[in-house]
Amino acid sequence: MHLRLLAVLALFAALASSLGAPSGGPSHSKHPIHSKRPIRRVVIVGGTHGNEYTGVWCIKSLEATRVESLERPYPSLDVSTLLGNPAAHSMNRRFVDTDLNREFSEDKLLDTAAAAAAVGEEGLPLTVESLRAREIDAILGPKFDMDRTTDVVIDLHSTTSNMGTTVIIPEGDALMAQAAAYVLHQCNRDRDDDDRGEARVLLHTIPKRENRPNLSSTGRHGFTVEVGPVPQGVLRHDAVENTQRAVRAVLEFLERRNREGEHAILRELRGRYPRGRVPCFRSAPARVDGEMSGKIRWPSDDDNPNFPGAVVHRSLQDRDFHPIRRGDPLFVELDGSIVEYDGSHGEEVYLIFVNEGGYYYRSSGTGIGVAVKAEFDLEHGRLMDAPALASDNKDMSKEKEKEEKEECASVQGDCVE
How many Cα neighbours within 13 Å face the side chain of 51? 16
pLDDT per residue as tens digits for the range 5-26: 454 545 444 444 443 356 654 4
Distance between CA atoms of residues 142 and 367, nearest Å: 32
Q: Report which of 276, 253, 278 is spatially closest to residue 264, judged by C-alpha positions.
A: 253
Distance between CA atoms of residues 254 and 267, nearest Å: 15
pLDDT per residue as tens digits for the range 369-387: 999 999 999 999 999 876 6
Please give the average per-residue pLDDT across 79-107, as a whole number: 94
Please give the average per-residue pLDDT across 27-31, as a whole number: 41
Reported confidence tier of residue 395, pLDDT bands at 50, 70, 90: very low
Q: Structure pTM?
A: 0.84
Rounded to 5 degrees, what angle do the CA atoms 158, 38, 26 make?
Answer: 70
Reported confidence tier of residue 216, pLDDT bands at 50, 70, 90: very high
Please give the average per-residue pLDDT across 196-212, as a whole number: 81
Greater pLDDT, 98 or 15: 98
Q: Of the ranges 297-306, 336-345, 359-368, which is most confident?
A: 336-345
